[in-house]
A and B are shown apart, each in its own frame.
Chain A
Amino acid sequence: SAVISQKPSRDICQRGTSLTIQCQVDSQVTMMFWYRQQPGQSLTLIATANQGSEATYESGFVIDKFPISRPNLTFSTLTVSNMSPEDSSIYLCSVPGPGLEAYNEQFFGPGTRLTVL
């Protein structure tokens, strides 16, 4: 399985500011996913980040609010821009499992707990 790290693990931010979350994988992967888990809620997919192309955003999420970078096959960043208290969530990155057999299994990072005041 992939080992995934995220930075920061948590942060408390003021409204109107931006935070960039980093996701590092110990192996090369084509696709990376960014999820949001609001308090007491399930995971919601924000976007899919393929290396070498623009990220694909899900309904309700836009690039201006959540710009994503994918500079190489082991790294991605998600920025939460112009934050409001409603952005307080856990943000998780994930990657597919290795090979065709495990492709549909996703491996998740530990998450970034964001609180916006």
Chain B
Amino acid sequence: AQSVAQPEDQVNVAEGNPLTVKCTYSVSGNPYLFWYVQYPNRGLQFLLKYITGDNLVKGSYGFEAEFNKSQTSFHLKKPSALVSDSALYFCAVRDRGVNRDDKIIFGKGTRLHILP
């Protein structure tokens, strides 16, 4: 079965510094990978995805993620963190069912704290 792992429960970064939120994956076949963000008291929002093509994927709010096949990683990055980036971030992978009914499997989440 497909899965993703987020090794860090929490990441603290000073405002203005670069940030990285880590994700590794385990899939059979070609991976479809995603990042979602959950702001306090709000639903999940899609940030970006990797399906094919360039290993560096750009998404919303200045975020990007780098797909690394050899390391089976899909880390989320941003060059300069903002306090408003403080939220819960989920890495996710598509799990294709027997009948091609796709599901999204989420990691446990990483809470990002940007310190002013």
Contacts and interface: CB of A to CB of B under 8 A. Distances in A.
B49 A109 contact: no
Interface in A23-48: 31, 33, 41-45, 48
A1 B44 CA distance: 13
Contacts of A96: 102
A93 B101 CA distance: 17
A interface, size bucket: 20 to 34
A92 B44 contact: yes
A67 interface: no
B103 A48 contact: yes
A1 B32 CA distance: 19
5 contacts: A33-B104, A45-B103, A45-B104, A104-B51, A108-B36
Contact of B101 (A42, A56, A104, A107): A56
* A-B interface, 9 closest residue pairs, ranked by CB to CB distance from nearest: A108-B44, A108-B43, A110-B43, A42-B108, A43-B106, A42-B106, A105-B46, A111-B43, A42-B109
B46 A106 contact: yes
A104 B34 contact: yes
B36 to A, nearest CB: 8
Interface in A50-71: 56
A106 B106 CA distance: 12
Interface string A68-99: 00000000000000000000000010101100
Given A41-B109, A43-B44, A94-B44, 19 more contacts: A4-B43, A33-B104, A42-B106, A42-B107, A42-B108, A43-B106, A48-B101, A56-B101, A92-B43, A103-B102, A104-B49, A104-B94, A105-B34, A105-B46, A106-B44, A108-B36, A108-B44, A109-B43, A110-B42
B42 to A, nearest CB: 6
A65 B28 CA distance: 32
Contacts of B43: 4, 92, 108-111
B37 to A, nearest CB: 11
B90 interface: yes
